[in-house]
Structure 1
Amino acid sequence: MLVTAFFVSGCGLIGSPPDKRSPTIHNSQTVSIVISNLGMTFPSGMDENDNRYLNYIEEETGLEIQVTTPPPEVYNEKLDVIMSSGNLPDMMHAYEPVWFGNYAKQGAFMPLDDLIDRYGPNLKEKIPSEIWDRVRYGGKIYAVPSLNEVSGVELVYARKDWLDRLGLKPPVTLDEYYEVIRAFTQDDPDGNGIDDTMGLIFTANLGRSAPFFGAFGTQINSWFEQNGKLVNGNILPETKEALAYLAKLYKEGLLDREFPLNLQNNLYEKIENGTVGLFSAAWYDTRGPIADNMKKDPNAQWIALEYPTGPNGLKGVYDKDIIRGYNVIPARSQNAESVIKMLDFIVSDYKNLKLGFENEIWRLENGRMVTNFEKHDEHLYRGIYQSLVDVPDPVLFRERLDSLGDFQLYTNLEIIKKSVIKNEFYGIPTPTMSKYDKKLGELQDIFTRIIMGIEPIESFDTYVERWKQEGGEEITKEVNEWYRNRDRTRLEDGLNE
């Protein structure tokens, strides 16, 4: 699994800690942790075990922290290797709920309720009770969660200068989107007389396709309520309709032919080079490939579009689960108390760790934050540690986004928030999810083959039957049992108020 993150700076406490740990700290407790480096790099002379932000945490807590960072590309696999090795660290940070649920049910982790009560006052204050309920198993807490600040990721951006050159209005309906995508591909929107543009681009595994499924009222790998029960979006007739629409685009050459091979860097490169007219952008892409394209081509203009609206008036994109990471302590750890103290400090010192050191990364001018972008980028690695226990702070969040320049970051997130399609299942993964997750994921490859015309659209019906037979039906029963219990618990809580 490739773990990626976007870190932006804002405000912090006055002053910067020294580069090295204070020599007055004695008899410090050593804590070993396994975390992701999030693909970040360190300034020259620093690494994951010797840098200003880790040293700052060690100074403030009196701990000696030994950090191991498996490669992001194989992070989950390395966690499994560590769990089976018998040589366990004091803490591990995981991203996959199925992974967390699987090991929690095996008794591999230490229950944390008493430790949090004694050593985690800031954790208790800043993480809502309903989130703690998401990391319970058998009534006990088995992880300290890290939270997402955003409710969703994707919104559609298009080249306004291309629309204007071709005399087109910003599209709203799926039919209007089709016409714009066709024109961006076939009608020489950049006016260079060369057939070198594409109307729409995805990445591998149907990345950046969410708005087009949303137009049919569905999302891949989400659960929806229908007639009082939860059903998986992968097997809905609406998903078949979305695949048929996308297959038409691909057949006519309107969707990037290389999308099954596109990684994020390929998508960025094509946008920057001016070959793409419309795509589902991440909310921060206005500061990335879109900004790079406008630097390269001064005539380029981009605008956010309304989400494509389907035949039944539906639109939207997947929501982002509130939990983005799980800090777990192996059952035999001898330093669990110190781990909780470390996490409690991280969540309490949001500004220094999230936003960087004041008057170095940022400063206040007339009450407004101003960011030193060179220093901001140099210190991005701080997110490796801060993101272990991230918690939303709406006021600071907007201030730091605005401090980064006129990239419409906050506006993008507000657009997304209004159109997220809620995933109704958010419990600990069920037992059969852990058992069948990989197999069902492999079956899903048929979606790409249908879009490419390798498989006919009728193959979707075969997929649905196989999905049910190879674990999906069992998973659906367990998900609905959770759903019934959730509603029962809500009712009981309401009666007790």
Structure 2
Amino acid sequence: MKKKLSMMLAMIIAAGTVSACSGGSNKPENSSGGQTSQKPAQTEGTGQAGAEEPLKFSMSITTSGNAHVEQSPDINKDKWVLELEKRTNTDIELTTIPLKDFDSKMSIMFASSSIPDVVQNVGGATDKSMAGSVQAGVFMPLDDLLKEHAPNIMKNVTQAAWDEVSYDGKIYGIPNWLSNPSRRATFIRKDLLDKTGLPLPKTPEEFLDVIRAFKKLGVENPYQLRMDFKYADLFFGPYDALGYQFMQQGDEIVPKFFDVENMTNALTMYKTMYDEGLIPKDFATLNVSTYGESINGGKAGMWTSNAAGLLDFRTKIKAVDPNAQVEIIPSPVGPDGLSGYGLYSSVITSLYINKNVPEEKAIRIIKMLDWMLTDEAKMFFTFGIEGENYTIDNGKVNYKAPTNSEQEAEQGFRGMLGFISDATINRMRMELLEGGQDVLDALDQTLAKEGVGGIIFIPDLETFQKYPDLASKRPDQAPKIIVDHMVKMIYGNEDIADWPKVIEEYRKKGGNEIIKEATERFNNQDGVVSQESRKQ
């Protein structure tokens, strides 16, 4: 799960973390949706002379794999931390936790007697890294304080996100959330589609026909598949056969690969592509680097990736083929109206306030976090300091965008300091980029209508640790034992008709224990998130 979140964090840092624009006569047009312009830590002002004393508190945060953070000799003296403190009238003692060691470092922290006033987690309230701290009463419930002092947060955070930061009916965390957990998209070389003369495909069969037509055009990899079916589950989604999700079958909660008919239909599509040379023959060992090289080298006709990568794909592919046209299209719609890929969790990171923090101090912390959703804050986290990082001319932002990796990491860290935001996409920056509106349209119009949900458990099932080869890996990988059989069937070494035998093997090797735990937790509603699929 941490690997998934690491990938998501890296992607979000690259794409940005804040949405909406600023208002006012010397600001860009207001698109904040009526955010309350409440100032943090005091009734009026943000640290001017005569205001309250700066709010002092300690806080642990993840580095999110950001180089600017991890290479800093003292993050508390960082320019952007100091600027944040100035704007919020705060004095924050930050402690950073490397993402690669996050779970173990969090466990050590909770085992000690030194827990900061505010703790940032990667994930929700009951995630593994929280080490049962919420259940043990380490943090205070926030329902009443949020309702009274955080109008922007209460207005904007989705119910799905609240569910993931709650325990026993009470809110304990304040999330950095995804308003749209459908992030993966189907990409196509539109110039190649035009050459085929075929219309935009809709059903799995029509998609297969387009992929076949790409083969006739001489495209090396008509559909770009890669190992473990990661970012390659084009047909598992529409047939509701995503092997990392759970569903209810009779009185049991079982993995979705228990649906023999759906798995048979999906596997048949992949075997057809393999037999007809529509996917790489070595897909079972094809790693992410080779996958990317093929796409960026103009060798693929269709592929799956995060929507935020559209502009990068366009730039790299046009460099080798100036006539290339890369677009995001609606994913294939299955017989039951399902389309798209697995939905992500709705929470990226979340903040928790130590129960020992005095109430008045907790109120000021919450007010500061609520300020992060105002137009003023969004301008700061997105663009930096006016006159230094950007100017505004006739209501338009002129932003000095990063020109190297160091500057990109610094920009990413500034965005990370916006601890509370809709992390789906940085709309303000995206709107400034050529083609940026295409990315926003893909998220708002295409991906908003697709995405396959299921039953997920947070934290993961404990039996996954006992049977790692039987453990699913959200958000994109079925258990190893299942992937191995899928590959063998596509290569023709096993018969797809024998899928019931695979299910039987899964049960015998420990699957029954996994199913028993999943069913018990579902019945007790213990760390269960039920995501609804979006049907066409």
- TM-score under structure 2 length normalisation: 0.72
Matched, 1:446 2:481: yes
Q: Once structures 1 and 2 are overlaid, which stretch shifts more, 329-338 or 446-455?
A: 329-338
User: Relative to structure 1, is the Cα distance of residues 117 and 157 closer, same or farther in structure 2, using a 3 angstrom cutoff?
Assistant: closer
Matched, 1:482 2:525: yes
- Tell me the distance in 2 between the aligned counterparts of 1:167 and 1:486: 44
- Tell me the distance in 1 between the aligned counterparts of 2:159 and 2:206: 45
User: Relative to structure 1, is the Cα distance of residues 259 and 48 closer, same or farther in structure 2, using a 3 angstrom cutoff?
Assistant: farther
Matched, 1:309 2:333: yes
Match of 1:254 among 271, 278, 281: 278
* Cα contact 2:245–2:255 (8 A) shared by 1: yes
Matched, 1:58 2:85: yes
User: Relative to structure 1, is the Cα distance of residues 32 and 399 closer, same or farther in structure 2, using a 3 angstrom cutoff?
Assistant: closer
Query: What residue is the counterpart of 1:490 in the other structure?
Result: none
Q: 1:283-339: per-residue Cα shift (whole Å, max 9, x none)?
A: 111112232211332122223333223456643322333333222245566897365
Query: What residue is the counterpart of 2:176 in the other structure?
Result: 146
* Cα contact 1:284–1:409 (8 A) shared by 2: yes
Percent identity for Structure 1 against Structure 2: 21
- Tell me the distance in 1 between the aligned counterparts of 2:506 and 2:402: 51
Query: What residue is the counterpart of 2:229 in the other structure?
Result: 206
The aligned amino acid for 1:110 is: F
* Cα contact 1:208–1:281 (8 A) shared by 2: yes
Matched, 1:406 2:449: no
- Aligned-residue CA RMSD (Å): 4.2
- Tell me the distance in 2 between the aligned counterparts of 1:66 and 1:245: 55
* Cα contact 1:22–1:59 (8 A) shared by 2: yes
Please give the residue correspondences for 1:338-357 in structure 2 after superposition, counting only pairs within 5 Å: 339-348=365-374, 350-357=377-384
Query: What residue is the counterpart of 2:474 in the other structure?
Result: none
User: Relative to structure 1, is the Cα distance of residues 104 and 86 closer, same or farther in structure 2, using a 3 angstrom cutoff?
Assistant: closer
Query: What residue is the counterpart of 1:137 in the other structure?
Result: 167
* Cα contact 1:104–1:142 (8 A) shared by 2: no
- Tell me the distance in 1 between the aligned counterparts of 2:277 and 2:95: 46
Q: Once structures 1 and 2 are overlaid, which stretch shifts more, 340-349 or 207-216?
A: 340-349
The aligned amino acid for 1:236 is: D
Query: What residue is the counterpart of 2:534 in the other structure?
Result: none
Partner of 1:29, secondary structure, is: strand
Partner of 1:284, secondary structure, is: helix
Partner of 2:223, secondary structure, is: coil
Query: What residue is the counterpart of 1:390 in the other structure?
Result: 421
Partner of 2:315, secondary structure, is: helix
User: Relative to structure 1, is the Cα distance of residues 266 and 104 closer, same or farther in structure 2, using a 3 angstrom cutoff?
Assistant: farther
- Tell me the distance in 1 between the aligned counterparts of 2:62 and 2:353: 12
Query: What residue is the counterpart of 2:503 in the other structure?
Result: 461
The aligned amino acid for 2:93 is: Q
Q: CA deviation at 1:171?
A: 3.4
Q: 1:319-370: per-residue Cα shift (whole Å, max 9, x none)?
A: 3333332222455668973654543343445413442234555555554555
Query: What residue is the counterpart of 2:11 in the other structure?
Result: 5
The aligned amino acid for 2:258 is: I
Query: What residue is the counterpart of 2:402 in the other structure?
Result: 374
Partner of 2:305, secondary structure, is: strand
- Tell me the distance in 2 between the aligned counterparts of 1:151 and 1:40: 26
Please give the residue correspondences for 1:91-170 in structure 2 after superposition, counting only pairs within 5 Å: 91-97=118-124, 98-99=127-128, 103-104=132-133, 106-107=135-136, 109-113=138-142, 116=146, 120=150, 122-127=152-157, 131-165=161-195, 168-170=198-200
Partner of 2:77, secondary structure, is: coil
Q: CA deviation at 1:249?
A: 3.3
Query: What residue is the counterpart of 2:42 in the other structure?
Result: none
- Tell me the distance in 1 between the aligned counterparts of 2:391 and 2:248: 48
* Cα contact 2:243–2:257 (8 A) shared by 1: yes
* Cα contact 1:11–1:369 (8 A) shared by 2: no
Matched, 1:416 2:447: yes
Query: What residue is the counterpart of 1:473 in the other structure?
Result: 516
Q: Once structures 1 and 2 are overlaid, which stretch shifts more, 47-56 or 357-366?
A: 357-366
Please give the residue correspondences for 1:260-339 in structure 2 after superposition, counting only pairs within 5 Å: 266-310=290-334, 314-330=338-354, 337=362, 339=365
- TM-score under structure 1 length normalisation: 0.77
Partner of 2:324, secondary structure, is: coil
User: Relative to structure 1, is the Cα distance of residues 127 and 282 closer, same or farther in structure 2, using a 3 angstrom cutoff?
Assistant: closer
Q: 1:115-164: per-residue Cα shift (whole Å, max 9, x none)?
A: 54676555445446775454332343321222113241122111233334
* Cα contact 2:181–2:344 (8 A) shared by 1: yes
Q: 1:76-129: per-residue Cα shift (whole Å, max 9, x none)?
A: 343334334554333332233432676156415312326546765554454467
* Cα contact 1:213–1:219 (8 A) shared by 2: yes
User: Relative to structure 1, is the Cα distance of residues 23 and 105 closer, same or farther in structure 2, using a 3 angstrom cutoff?
Assistant: closer
- Tell me the distance in 1 between the aligned counterparts of 2:146 and 2:332: 46
The aligned amino acid for 2:170 is: K
User: Relative to structure 1, is the Cα distance of residues 227 and 404 closer, same or farther in structure 2, using a 3 angstrom cutoff?
Assistant: farther
- Tell me the distance in 2 between the aligned counterparts of 1:219 and 1:141: 30
Q: 1:436-493: per-residue Cα shift (whole Å, max 9, x none)?
A: 244566310123322321873435323552564132232124324439x999xxxxxx
- Tell me the distance in 2 between the aligned counterparts of 1:178 and 1:365: 49
Partner of 2:322, secondary structure, is: coil
Query: What residue is the counterpart of 2:205 in the other structure?
Result: 175
Query: What residue is the counterpart of 2:38 in the other structure?
Result: none
Q: Specify every segment of 5 or more residues in structure 1 that has no aligned partner in the other structure, as ranges.
A: 16-20, 190-196, 488-497
- Tell me the distance in 2 between the aligned counterparts of 1:61 and 1:107: 32
Q: Specify every segment of 5 or more residues in structure 2 that has no aligned partner in the other structure, as ranges.
A: 28-45, 471-478, 531-536
Q: Once structures 1 and 2 are overlaid, which stretch shifts more, 440-449 or 263-272?
A: 263-272
